[in-house]
Structure 1
């Protein structure tokens, strides 16, 4: 039997980061997952650590845009009709939290986390020996029409207010930064405060190796085995039971069953997304992530090739894969860049753990002593993992949090 101060359930970027920060605060920690670190959602993201991120991905508000999504006329989204009734309450709440005013308020709540995100990654990547996986070159969003660019006025005004650095570029200016781009767009915005990761899964594995090198323990086990034992917690692993004074749930979209079992209310769903890797042609490299706003997809140079990551698919977490967005996005991507064959037989399917207000839960589980939550990071899991770990560790050890944690409390859903 293993004994520790804290057992952290989930070895994605959030769980690994929480474990590292709790360890740095002097606690003995067991990190537990059924799979190896970095094998889940953390593996398949767009590889962007977005210190300059502002507005979350919202539910369409404009009736014309909403109709195009409903009719499946855009590759930005897809949905499974059979799953909509069960997801309808969450979607309605998501819609209400996607008004321009609500998104701006969310952006202001998240700014203390996002502005510190890159620094916290660097504080882990340097001792883990993987700073070479990060390129501090910003990221770029491309707009195929002047109308599409004009629609960013509110976001640019918010960036000016919050002092988030960016540059507006014409096609020539964007191509000067990324010479392989083809001039099939009108405008671009280069967001400066960003690291690009060539291997997100590898980054998480390196952080997990750092945790173990510093004396942490990683064990394979089933998170649903977690149960109370007097004032503490017990979880079953392949190496035997683990007893801990406190527990942290950081299971991403797989937190749902455990939260229900423990009686915790959190409206968490999986915003699904896909990726494939395409062979670069003619010596193609990208210095930074490129987002084609018209298609809602991102392109990133990775060790596997040029990764194309799609927008959102609304469906049950474990529903069969329907990668129609990939099929639509690839021709659009080839209009932008010299891309060759797809390198996978099937697209990779990932599940972004999302809450309707686009903010994570970071803090204690209401009414359950010794249980803490770090989940629901949506599109920004890779970005916010380390800074989430810092904030939660400060809260759990009685240190002064670097920012007010109230916006991220689970109590907002009671």
Structure 2
């Protein structure tokens, strides 16, 4: 196009893809988003709502190999693996453990900090530019523990936060009662990150970004990508189940499905899914909860969303195609009710989402290796909501020819 704008296809209408499409439209490009589902209706729908600017701790950490068997044997623990999936998962797990050494974790933490530190400001700037209000609140992120031993087990994580300069407040029992009087008095220790933000309805934030995008002339296309056509080493057309779309550039933001999309272009990335479940509980006289709270002893979150209290689980490894199994998260209900006395309520939703996870806990952001007009933005693990606007800024800058404010090499797909 002669005016410098480009015809860009963004694949994926989750929070990352939608935010990226919005930023590209703000740069004046002609942007279309392809996804068979409406904006924010897949994995972006059901998270715990945190914009966690202090999230600098990789999923893998020293001692994981020793701790994993104990976690797997706990029927209400934070991690489960479907044993039939283990052979397929094994190569990913080997990379995961290799990234869990002290030296690797320290380096990964530094690199994550370059993304997460400005993550909240990136969202706030995008919302301000499009007058999006009432969805995101500066309420912080709280983790609570019962007893000294439970709290002491977080020493390594707290050390990483201190090294990165994250604002972390350690609370005693009385301070916890003042901050969250609805919690059980059995919690003796708390770790509070006041600079984090809480998204009271993640799907509404995605939809608000989507509405801003369409106001700028962007288009959502409810189709399924089938393959890509090339002109030399560049993608020239995206072929779907219903049409063919010309493209000057393509951004792949399809979350846990991104490895399948990349494979259509001959790109291999070690991406798997940490499946996450939630239950939504609604009652008229629900106990008050001011912010999302991680129950550290058991690894689940209680979050006061607009439509009820959301109970989110830990991690299940079973791939993209296995049927949901809500047994484990239902076992957490009594623990949740013990943590938040008075929490009864009707379960109004059972939900499963697929976190797109790389073995080194870092997203893939930037140009695709050897395909100069394809750009990648996926693999955010537990940080898709947190890093959506930040990723959008970086990808839009790359596509529009701006220099990034950080070194993107640590997040390149070429690192694998």
Residue 269 (structure 2) aligns with: 266
Contact 2:8 2:32 in 1 (8 A): yes
2: CA distance between counterparts of 1:69 and 1:154?
18
Gaps spanning 5+ residues in structure 1: where? none
In structure 2, relative to structure 1, the CA distance for the partners of 1:234 and 1:25 (3 Å cut) is same
**Is the CA contact 1:272–1:313 (under 8 Å) kept in the aligned structure 2?**
yes
Q: Deviations over 1:308-341 (max 9, x none)?
A: 1100001121101112321221111111112113
Taking the aligned partners of 1:220 and 1:70, their CA distance within structure 2 comes to 39
Deviation of 1:125 after TM superposition, in Å, equals 2.1
Q: Where in structure 2 are the equivalents of 1:71-110 lying within 5 Å?
A: 71-110=73-112
Is 2:65–2:97's contact at 8 Å kept on the other side of the alignment? no
Partners of 1:296 and 1:60 in 2: CA distance: 18
Is 1:173 matched with 2:189? no
Give 2:343's aligned residue.
Answer: 339
* Partners of 1:64 and 1:30 in 2: CA distance: 47
Partner deviation per Cα, 1:140-195 (whole Å, 9 max, x = no partner): 00112211211222332332222210110112211211111111222010111211
The answer to whether the 8 Å contact 1:60/1:66 transfers is no
Q: Is the 8 A contact 1:4 1:30 kept in 2?
A: no
- Give the distance between the partners of 1:76 and 1:232, measured in 2 at CA: 41
Match of 1:275 in 2: 278
Superposed CA deviations along residues 68-106 of structure 1, whole A, max 9, x for unmatched, are 123244421111010001111101111221233322221
Cα-to-partner distance string for 1:332-374 (whole Å, 9 max, x where unaligned): 11111121134236x2010000000000111111112311111
Alignment partner for residue 7 of structure 1, among 9, 17, 21? 9
TM-score by length of structure 1 reads 0.94
Q: Within the alignment, does 1:288 sit opposite 2:291 as a pair? A: yes
Tell me how far 1:19 sits from its aligned partner.
Answer: 1.0
Contact 2:283 2:346 in 1 (8 A): no
Specify which of 403, 409, 413 is matched with residue 410 of structure 1.
413
- Please report the RMSD computed on the Cα atoms of aligned residues, expressed in angstroms: 2.0
What residue ranges of structure 2 are gaps of 5+ in the alignment?
none
Q: Contact between 1:364 and 1:409, CA under 8 Å: does it hold in 2?
A: yes
- Is contact 1:273-1:349 (8 Å) kept? yes
- Separation in structure 2 between the aligned mates of residue 276 and residue 267 of structure 1, nearest angstrom: 30
2:386 to 377, 380, 383: 383
8 Å CA contact retained: 2:53, 2:117: yes
Distance 2:187 2:158 in 1: 19
Question: What CA deviation, in whole Å up to 9, does each residue of 1:273-310 have, x standing for no partner?
Answer: 10011125645232211001111111111122000110
Aligned length: 410
TM-score by length of 2: 0.93
Q: Which residue is equivalent to 1:234?
A: 237
Q: What residue in structure 1 maps to residue 56 of structure 2?
A: 54
Question: 1:22-37 residue pairs with structure 2 within 5 A?
Answer: 22-37=24-39
Q: Is residue 2:157 matched to residue 1:147?
A: no
CA distance in 2, matches of 1:344, 1:252: 26
